[in-house]
Amino acid sequence: MKSDSASVEEGGSMFVLSGEELTLPYGEINALISSYADNPKIERLGNRVVRSNLSSNVLIETVTQRAAYCRFGGSFVSISKDLPSLASPLEIDLSTLGKSFAVDSFSLDLEKCGELGATIKAKTKGKVSLENPDYVFDVEAIPDGRYVLGLSPNGYKEFQWKSRRPRARKFFLPSAIYPKLARCLVNLSQVKEGEVFLDPFCGTGSLLIESSLMGMRSVGVEITRWIARGARLNLIGFSLPYEAIIRSDSASSLPLTHVDGISTDVPYGRASSTKGLSTSEILDGFISAASESMYSSSQKKKFSVVMYPSTVNLEEKLSSQGNSFQLKEQHLLYVHRNLTRVVSVLQRM
């Protein structure tokens, strides 16, 4: 994946990505920041730390909670080669507010976190609470030898993947995507709350569950009637609102004239229903239909996110269909020696 880092001025936000050796975490956080910042500026500080000019506490928290591969998000405090001096810009009096704090890190040991915690305690007069803090300071070491400090006023980020795993749902198929990846695929589409999100190969509804949880108007299309009913059952099981689950004979003719973004896992293999079509043939029909559903005369950028086996050459298909989409980025997901998935982000031109 190609990425451009722009220098971010003082202030703004800081995000710490999860440690998977993937390009997806940065792609996801970049997509989310781009969705919410008016003129996004994003700077990578190593593999796991990202700074941006997103400054609204509400929007920082929205991005943090939405992101599947983000461990921490908060306001940027400082950056320095001297660990104790990171606390110098702090002007908050936690004792007056009656708030507690903790220092967390994914790259530093407990001794260094404790050292910085003592400095922050003296500076803010706050009470330390490691179990349930009101404020979390995250400090990370970056490759150039400096440390970077961020502050979240919302405590630790909580993850609830287990309750939404495929086998915990009312309807299960082995091909179902796990919620962490499903959420990331939705976020890469840059669809926001209240906008229309479409999964044209919705299967058991993995992506629709995540899009509905994030406040989108979710629409799914499924070629097999009993699977479509299963997807509906899963959404109802989580008490989630959705616009529609549509049973259609082909995703090459989508029954929608306007969507704000698309994400999907194209069916392939024995566990998926392909009605005798190859993955390549399915993609041909999908690209044509998606370009019509995503057409817009407005200036809003629209994206389609497609996951498929690496044996398919998507670039050739895009050029053969009039370049209605431009390939923005790609991510590779190794599954096993016979399968590597590609996640392609396409921008509607």
The predicted-structure confidence for 221-231, as pLDDT tens digits, reads as follows 998 899 999 99
Pick 271 or 40 by higher pLDDT. Answer: 40
Q: Is residue 157, in this structure, part of any structural domain at all?
A: no
Question: Predicted confidence band at 308 (pLDDT cuts at 50, 70, 90)?
Answer: very high
Q: How far apart are CA 228 and CA 203, in angstroms?
A: 7
Q: Considering the chain, what percentage of its residues have pLDDT values greater than 70?
A: 93
| Residue 312 belongs to domain with CATH number | 3.40.50.150
242 plus 121 within the same structural domain = no
Distance (Å, whole) CA 73 – CA 71: 7
- Same domain assignment for residues 132 and 179: no
Q: How far apart are the first and last CA of the chain?
A: 20
Determine contact, residues 231/171, Cβ cutoff 8 Å: yes
Higher per-residue confidence, 255 vs 12 = 12
The string of pLDDT tens digits covering residues 211-248 is 999 999 999 999 889 999 999 999 999 999 989 888 87
Global confidence as pTM: 0.92
* Domain tally, the chain: 2
Residue pair 309/343 in contact by the 8 Å Cβ criterion: no
Domain termination site, one of 99, 123, 152: 152
Q: 77 and 187 share a domain? A: no
Mean pLDDT of 125-150: 96
Give helix 24-36 / helix 179-188 axis angle, nearest 10°. 50
Report which residue type is found at 48.
Answer: R
Residues 185 and 315 in one domain: yes
Q: Is the pLDDT of residue 72 over 70?
A: yes
148 and 170 in a single domain? The answer is no
Closest of 254, 262, 167, 175 to residue 211, by C-alpha: 262
What CATH code is carried by the domain that includes residue 85? Answer: 3.30.2130.30
Q: Can you spell out the DSSP letters for 187-231?
A: HHTT--TTSEEEETT-TTTHHHHHHHHTT-EEEEEESSHHHHHHH
* Residue 231 and residue 330 in one domain: yes
Within this chain, do residues 139 and 226 fall inside the same structural domain, yes or no? no
Do residues 215 and 75 share a domain? no
Q: What is the pLDDT of residue 280?
A: 85
Indicate whether 54 and 202 sit together in one domain.
Answer: no
Specify the residue for token string 């009637």: 225
Q: Which of 112-121, 173-182, 283-292, 294-303 has the lowest mean pLDDT?
A: 294-303
| Residue 220 lies inside a defined structural domain of this protein | yes
- What residues contact residue 126 under an 8 Å CB cut-off, 6+ apart? 94, 95, 99, 100, 101, 120, 135
127 and 254 belong to one structural domain? no
What local confidence, expressed as pLDDT, does residue 4 receive?
45
**Confidence label for 287 from pLDDT (cuts 50, 70 and 90):** confident
Model confidence over 9-34: pLDDT tens digits? 568 999 999 988 789 999 999 999 99
Q: pLDDT category, 7, cuts 50, 70, 90? A: low
28 inside domain:
yes
The answer to whether 190 and 31 have CB atoms below 8 angstroms apart is yes
Range of the domain at 256: 162-348
> 245 and 144 share a domain?
no
* pLDDT for residue 340 is more than 90: yes
Structural domain includes residue 63: yes
pLDDT at 304 over 80: yes
